[in-house]
Amino acid sequence: MLPILHRLLSDERAATAIEYSLIALLISVAGIVSMTSVGQKVVNLLDQVIAGFPP
């Protein structure tokens, strides 16, 4: 049992995979936040354009 535990703790491939996963997560969150912000600005602009047309 002890050799298996030692092998798991010394394996660095899992740490690398976790690091890449965290980087991908941060990039995804940043993309979602920026797209939400831009989307809201586009909606506000279109609301202003619609309000400019006569009824």
Chain mean position to CA 35: 11
Q: What is the pTM of this model?
A: 0.60
Residues 34 and 24: their CA atoms lie apart, in Å, by 15
Residue whose structure tokens are 């990039």: 27
Backbone phi, psi, residue 47, to 5°: -65, -40
Tokens of 34: 């920026």
> Which tens digits make up the pLDDT trace of 42-55?
999 999 999 999 87
pLDDT tens digit string along 12-38?
Answer: 777 788 899 999 999 999 999 999 999
